Amino acid sequence: MKSIVKTILKIFAILIFLAGGIWFLQGINILPGSFMTGDPQWSINGGIAMICGAGLFWFANRK
């Protein structure tokens, strides 16, 4: 049961990290195509999401 929960947490963490990466790239105007493009607030939100995703992944990998 523990391994299933850890696997789900890892998948969720990766998805949060990837979404944050997309938000960050749109915020710094590298990835065009939405209302987020060029808005610095989305680069901040994306950076925070990436940190949260990395932290959750680290937490899921603890023994």
Q: Quickly list DSSP for 2-58.
A: HHHHHHHHHHHHHHHHHHHHHHHHHHTTSS-SSTTTT-HHHHHHHHHHHHHHHHHHH
pLDDT on residue 34? 87
- What is the domain partition of the chain in residue ranges? 2-61
Q: Cβ(19)–Cβ(47) under 8 Å?
A: no
* pTM for this entry: 0.89
d(CA 60, CA 41): 29
pLDDT on residue 1? 78
Q: What is the pLDDT along the chain (63 residues), one digit of tens a residue?
A: 789 999 999 999 999 999 999 999 999 999 888 888 888 999 999 999 999 999 999 999 987
